Structures are given as structure tokens and as C-alpha cells.
Chains A and B, each alone.
Chain A
């Protein structure tokens, strides 16, 4: 009797050990966690002087699916707003760029790991001393109208963009055509963010057909008729209905699998969700965290991916006015200490958002892990307010009222601030009024909720703040301006990274110009039948030309 028991115990022990060594079975999850990239993996958007290592010529990531792609079918995806224009010079906001990116390609783009990789370019070289960026272009690329993409067309496009006085190419003084497939950008002062701005982070590097533009009357026509080099060519756009695209058989990277793309405009998120659940939309796009959690339960139907980027909300007190209470650093620090960012992030983000205490996103090369930030401590916030001579400090929290979700979030922030000794009134503003306040700097006071989209290169974002293009009126001390200027003119990546880290520390720990809360990476919902699309995994609305429908 004793022997069988021992044998059984030994067998059980062996089974347990084997089970333990075997690890967990492969998780059948469709959630893609945000990429964590190291500086060496990511690399800066610039290269060392005088000649850089050109980026890899690979443009399309290998298919992630093990299935054989099938041709045919129309991809149906949601857009919540009509694009306002297809002419790159006047494009604003995400909708214009994201909608047109299937047709109007950029010179470079960012991949899933936020590496800058070539698209219509094949590489670039920088020369710090000569203050130039030389870009080599892809050969054999044709626009949808049959005209060739070459250096002359590229220069024309970049000149068109510069004519709009856009900040992205402000430092470009002239553009030379070196040969048929090489252009050189001459800069007023060296700026290592220029090449990143020619990626899909911006519309500066978006190429349209010069031939169609000139043959059809110019800007007004181009604003409604995108003619690019992308895998899909424009069919029609109907206001409040959507945009239709069809396959471009002459695409330089091979014929796309999909017959076309139907971008359907549905403004109401509940209706859009119902359409998605009914299978009438392949891509729902940004999904409310709670809805994404529910969809995630049905892995056989839906896949949820988390974009590497996201919105970075921050609360900034009006500190450039010396008479404002927010000119005192104690008051600004009190704001940061007053908010329980962990509960806020966990409750609203439901696991999709990440904690953040600075402008750079955790896991990217610009993120400074040594930034201490301001842990939740309402008592400390009250002490700081009292030290600054304020109790029950009345202030308005201004924000862009983009929807009920942001009202909810600010309601929670209001209660945190009030509990810490502030007396906050919410001031939801419609988009034009907020734009006047935040971008044009027309007299905001109190606290403003800044809601910017994180950038693979944090210096690009700070360029907007320092130049007053974004969040005008934000307090930016001279020390930060100096470090920023050194950062964008740094000749090598290591120096740039070091200076970027310093900038993060100054902004948060030394000056507390804003209380950074989290990274709001809105989960992207897709039907599982959609394969190899990269949508949501790569940033800035990129849709792979290799996408196909498995049905």
C-alpha cells in the first residue's frame, strides 16, 4: 500500500515540475502591447555629421499573418469627421492626414517601434557643418495619373508646403535638385527634427502629383482630388457620408490585395460600435476603453491593438503672467500633487493607458526615467498652496469639449483639485474658442488642459510649444529654451538624447510647467478577418498596402 502511494507522489511531483517548466501555454490574446524600444533600436530622426547611415530600404513590414493573402474585397473603416482638404499645405489635424495617407504617401514613415523608415525616400544624409539634409528618392514610382515621381516633383511639393509658412519646414531656406532622384534641403540652422517632419508625423513630406495639380487649376482642385502615389486612388468623397478609394494597380510596392477602401463617416460612437458589431465595419478605430474591454472578450471576432502613441493630457497653470497665482511654482506643484494619476489612469484607461510624468512616452528614447514627478499627496498640495498664500484658490479649468468622455475626466480632475484646496470651475469650450485660447493665446487664465498627441521625437512637440504654435501662453523658462535649441542642433543621437532627457527633467522637476497625467492610447478595434494591415500598430493612421481580408 505504501509503495503505490510513493509512486503516485513521485508521478505527481514529476507532473508538477514538467508543468512548471513548460510555462504558460501561448496566450490566445490579440492585444498588442505598446512597443518598448531602446535608444539604439529607435534611433534618432537624424544622423551624425557629415554622412549618415541611411535608413533601411525596407518599407513594408513582413506579414504578421501565417495565412496566404487573398485578393479582393473592400475594406470598410470608420471616420468620425470629414477630411477638410487633401492639399498637404493646408492640412490640419489628424483627420486630413490619416484619411489621405492611403493615397498621398510621405517621404518617410514611422514603424511599429517608432523607427523612422523610408517610404517614398530611400534614405537621407545630414551634414551639420554645411547645414544640409540630402534625401535620396525611390525610383520607378508613379502617381495615380501616370506621371513620374522624381526629384523635381519632390522639390515642387516641398516648396508648395513651405509657401504655406508652416513651422515644420521653417528652417529650410532652399531646396536643390541634385539629380533626378536626389534633393538637398538647405537649412538656416541645423535642425535634427527636419527629417522626422518629412515622415507621416506631419504633412510636410506628403507628395501629390504636380502634373494633375497644374492641369486642373491648382489648390482648389487638389483640395478635393488627391492624386498621390499610394496603394489606393481616390474615387469620391461625399460630405457626411465618407470617402471611397479603389486599388491602384500601378503601385510601386506591388498590386494591393484589397479592391478598395470605403471610409464611412459615422459621427455617433454608439452607432459606429453597433455597425462594427454587426460586421459592417472592419476597422472601428479608436474605441472607448470600456467598449474595447467588452470586445476583447470575443477574440474570435475582434482584435484590439494599442497604438504606440497617444494623447498626453496635462494641466498647465497660466504662469507667464507674474500676477497670476500660477506664476508661483508652489501652486503649480500643488496641482501635480493633487491628482491621483494612478486611479485616474486605471479607472478611465482600464489598462490601455499608461502612467506618465513627462512629455516623452515611456519606452521611447526621449523618456527620462530619472524624472521624479509629483506623487499623489493632497496634504502636500494643501501645504504648498498655503505656503504660496492661497487657500481655496479659485480658478477655471479650461478644456476643449471634444465629447462627454473628456467632460467626465475633467470632472474627476476637478474633484481631486477641490479636495486639495482649490476651488475649480469647469469651462468646457467648443473647438474654435479653445483654439483661440490654446493656439492663438487669446487671454486664457487659470488652468488649461493641454491635450497633445505624443510625438516619437519629443523635441518636435516642444518646438510647437516654444514657438507658440501649440498651447500658446505656456510658461517656458529661458533655460528650457536654451536646452531645446541645443537639442535640435545636436550633431549626434547620444547628445540629442541627453539634452532631451535634461529638457524633460527641467519641465517637470525644476519648473513644473505642467502636470502630466498619462498616455491615453485609445485602443483600436478591428475585425479578425482583416490581416496584415498594421492599422493602429504603426502610428499616425498608417494602413499597410499588404492588408487583405480573410473571407
Chain B
């Protein structure tokens, strides 16, 4: 490698990253709503990891002699329509929610970011083919697209994850493409070309890291969206197969008893509300922290 490229790498390594991270941390957690959101997310992660220890009952074991029991000391949130403990199902439901949030967004991010990177970097016919395909996908509302995919593929967690991944992928692709299109004419990219850096190196080492901050915000917000979408699919009865506890399915099945046993829908509904809100708050805080236009004002 030439001397020039060595000096570029040296300069990049000498950036004051610690100070920047500290600033981001300070801006993010300077607002209580963001801190609150982070605490909720942390709490849900702990609950999901330790669900088997925390849940008082087997979440999938019916007890037909204890159907629709009101909250009591034995069952703090009561039992559902087949006698399963609602609290235990809410606790185990957190596992599915986090799983679909993280894996769904990961699938969407991997596919979308890769396609966007290629489209933005190569431009021309590659850009046209990829972006017109993405435009076609974007012409469907995300939930409709996911419904179609889940209906064709059938229920089950893998299919739901795939549906979520494909359904959310276009926004990543479009954002990445826009970012790369503006970055690829930057001087440092031109310089990289000049010194003979390969396309792969430029994409992975220069474009991806510099285009990533806005995508990080999108990922964080989409974690909440994915949980919401899975809940919607489960609510509509084409999500994860019963009897697995999911918050969306619990809201759906509980709505029949909304006047007599409101806790059946209310408890998982509140869980969805809090987690989605928390991810949105954290995403919002992250966006503020990473937005260069707000630097110095927050």
C-alpha cells in the first residue's frame, strides 16, 4: 500500500473517538424519556433472558378447570380462556417480542443495507434494477406486504421473521442508497480510488461506516416497529403458531373477554406499548445525538 493510504489510515485512527462517544452518551441520556426508554428495554431484556426463572407457571399448559380466573394471589394477572397463567405468558411473550425485533430487523438490515450499498456505489443499471424492485415493494404498505408473505409462507416463527425482514427491508435499502450516492463523490472516496483501493474495501471500510449513523437510528426505531408488526400479524391470526405466547396473539384472543376479563388484553397491550415506546424514545435520542446539525445545541 502506498504512503498516502497509510497516512490516511493513521489520521483516521487518531480521531478523538472517546470524546465523541462521551458526547453521544451525554446527549442521549440527558433526557429522562430516553433514559426511561433504555431502562425499559434493559428490563425487558432481563425478563426475557430469565423468563423460565421468573414465570410462576408453564405459559403453555392449559388448566380447563381454571378458565378465565380473575387476578388473585395465585395468578396475579388471572388466567386466560384455557386456564393459562397470564403473567407467565406475558413474561414468556417478551422472548418472542425481542427475538422478532432483533432478528427481523437484522434480516431487513442485512438485505437492505447490502442492496442499498451496491445500488448507491455502482449506480447505473445496478441502481435502476435494485431501486425499481425496492420501489415495487414500497408500493405496498408494510403490513399488507407482510400479511401477503406470511399468508403464502404460512405461520411459524421462521416465516414471520422472514416476512418481517422482507417487509422492512426497502426502507434500509433506500436510505443506504441515498447515503452512499452522496458519499461516493466525497474527496476521501476519490482518494481511495486514486490509490487503488478495491471496490470491496471502499464499500466496507469507507462507505459503510460513514453511512451507518442514520441507519443505526432507523434500526433502533424499527425494533419497536418489528415488535408491533409481529403483534399485528399474531393479532390477525397468521403469526407465530399457537400455543406459543406472543403479546399480539394475547391481545387478539383476550379481546373477546374485554368486558369480563380486561386483563387478558390489557396486560400484553401495555407490554407492547411500553416496549415500542421505549425503542422509539431511544431511537429518537440516538438520532439527536448523531445528527451533526444538532451538534453543539444539545
Residues of A within 8 A of B (CB): 269-270, 288, 290, 294, 340, 343-344, 347-348, 401, 404, 407-408, 410-412, 414-415, 425-428, 430, 433
Contacts and interface: CB of A to CB of B under 8 A. Distances in A.
A22 B155 CA distance: 61
A127 B154 CA distance: 53
A347 B253 CA distance: 17
Contacts of A411: 60, 62, 82, 242-243
A145 B231 CA distance: 52
Contacts of A410: 242
B64 A344 contact: yes
Contacts of B60: 411, 415
Contacts of B243: 411, 414, 426
Interface in B52-109: 60-62, 64-65, 67-68, 81-82
A407 B62 contact: no
A285 B82 CA distance: 24
Contact of A347 (B67, B237, B241, B258): B67
A111 to B, nearest CB: 33
B159 interface: no
B256 interface: yes
Contacts of B81: 404, 408
Given A344-B64, A426-B241, A428-B155, 15 more contacts: A290-B68, A290-B260, A343-B64, A347-B67, A407-B253, A408-B81, A410-B242, A411-B242, A412-B62, A412-B82, A425-B241, A426-B243, A428-B242, A430-B238, A433-B154
B242 A426 contact: yes
A288 B259 CA distance: 14
A407 B255 contact: no
B5 interface: no
Contacts of B62: 411-412, 415
Contacts of B237: 401, 404, 407, 428
A270 B258 contact: yes
A294 B60 CA distance: 28
A270 B61 CA distance: 26
Contacts of A430: 151, 238
Interface residues of B, number: 24
Contact of B256 (A288, A344, A433): A288
B114 interface: no
Contacts of B258: 270
A428 B241 contact: yes
Interface of B: 60-62, 64-65, 67-68, 81-82, 151, 154-155, 237-238, 241-243, 252-253, 255-258, 260
A412 B80 CA distance: 12
A433 B155 CA distance: 12
Nearest to A407: B242
A285 B248 CA distance: 28
Contacts of A294: 260
**3 A-B pairs closest in CB distance:** A347-B64, A411-B243, A404-B253
A270 B67 contact: no
Given A347-B64, A347-B67, A408 B241 contact: no
A428 B241 CA distance: 8
* Most chain A CB within a 10 A radius of its CB, from B62, B65, B68, B154: B62
Nearest to B68: A290
Nearest to A427: B241
Contacts of A425: 241
A347 B151 contact: no
Nearest to B261: A290
A9 B243 CA distance: 63
Contacts of B61: 415
Nearest to A344: B64
A324 B221 CA distance: 48
A407 B65 CA distance: 18
Contact of A343 (B65, B242, B253): B65
A336 B252 CA distance: 31
8 contacts: A290-B68, A347-B65, A348-B64, A404-B81, A411-B62, A412-B64, A415-B61, A427-B241
B253 A408 contact: yes
Nearest to A414: B243
A47 B155 CA distance: 51
Nearest to A401: B237
A415 B252 CA distance: 21
